[in-house]
Amino acid sequence: MNYRKEKLIITVALTGNVPTKEMNSNTPITVGEIVDDIIKCREAAASVAHIHVRYENGAPTCDRSLYKEVLDRLKERNCDIITQLSTGARGGGNTAEWRGQMLDLNAEMASLSTGSSNFPSQVNANSFELIRELAKKMYNNNIKPEIEAFDLGMIDNAVFLLKEGVLKAPLQFNLVMNVRGSVKGTPRNLLHMIESLPEGSTFTVSGIGPSQIPMLTMAILLGGHVRTGLEDTVLYDKGILATNQMLVERIVRIAKELGREIATPDEARKILGIE
């Protein structure tokens, strides 16, 4: 892959399930805060919004009505960002019905973890049965899955599901580096993950906590794409609280120094094969 020719897709992961207002007062919790942050990050050059929703008390959820409200408000404000909905295990339930309840909405992408892992406070459980059900619902609603790979085995599982016909090429991966209990965020580990991807795949890299800048810089150099946002790091630097907009703007500066142009949402759609 020639990184000087393919433009860089920046995904912003705004909220996640873990950050709280106590950890960082800039964390968007309500629908209004999430939508406002997405608009700011789109203006800063993000082309994909990785969206989680919360109840007003801050508790994470997969509630369809909240996802719908986010999408409706973005449409009302004429925001052209690619919307990617989370089906993650921390959203309050562990069935395909609960975690995929929003997949009939008008979104373009959704996350799909292809294996289980140990998060610090719970197991990120994803059985093959659940993965198959979520993938089927995504494809039935013309939603492109993004394979969330927290470890090498999740790439192998995705290849297995591709051969089985559950997944459809070309695949888009998010390589999540440095979550405690999963693959450590080191250059050697990231290179091995990238080299293990099936041919023709596109990939994004998420660097959690202090691994963010080295992992994302390496992704930019190797022709991949990047994810940033308060889901991945609540700090901009030691002792400095981040905002989502600050984190996106930093990636734009790094990419410029490394010779990567930034993709618009329409250019990102072509790169990712979103119809």
Rounded mean pLDDT of 33-38?
98
pLDDT at 4: 47
Does residue 180 lie within any of the structural domains?
A: yes
User: Does residue 78 register a pLDDT over 70?
Assistant: yes
Structural domains of the chain, count: 1
Does residue 96 lie within any of the structural domains?
A: yes
Rounded mean pLDDT of 24-31?
98
Does residue 256 lie within any of the structural domains?
A: yes
pLDDT at 171: 98
pLDDT at 2: 45
Residue-averaged pLDDT of the chain = 95
Question: What count of other Cβ atoms lies within 10 Å of the Cβ of residue 75?
Answer: 12
More confident residue, 92 or 174: 174
222 contacts 194 by C-beta, under 8 angstroms:
yes
Does residue 181 lie within any of the structural domains?
A: yes
Does residue 5 lie within any of the structural domains?
A: no
- Quote the domain boundaries for residue 56: 10-272
118-125: long-range pairs with CB below 8 Å, 24+: 118/181, 118/182, 119/90, 119/179, 119/180, 119/181, 120/180, 120/181, 122/89, 122/90, 123/89, 124/88, 124/89, 124/90, 124/150, 125/89, 125/94
pLDDT band, very low/low/confident/very high, at 1 (cuts 50, 70, 90): very low
Q: What is the CATH number of the domain that holds 127?
A: 3.20.20.70
Does residue 1 lie within any of the structural domains?
A: no
Does residue 2 lie within any of the structural domains?
A: no
| Alpha carbons 7 and 271: distance in angstroms, whole number | 9
Does residue 4 lie within any of the structural domains?
A: no
More confident residue, 42 or 94: 42
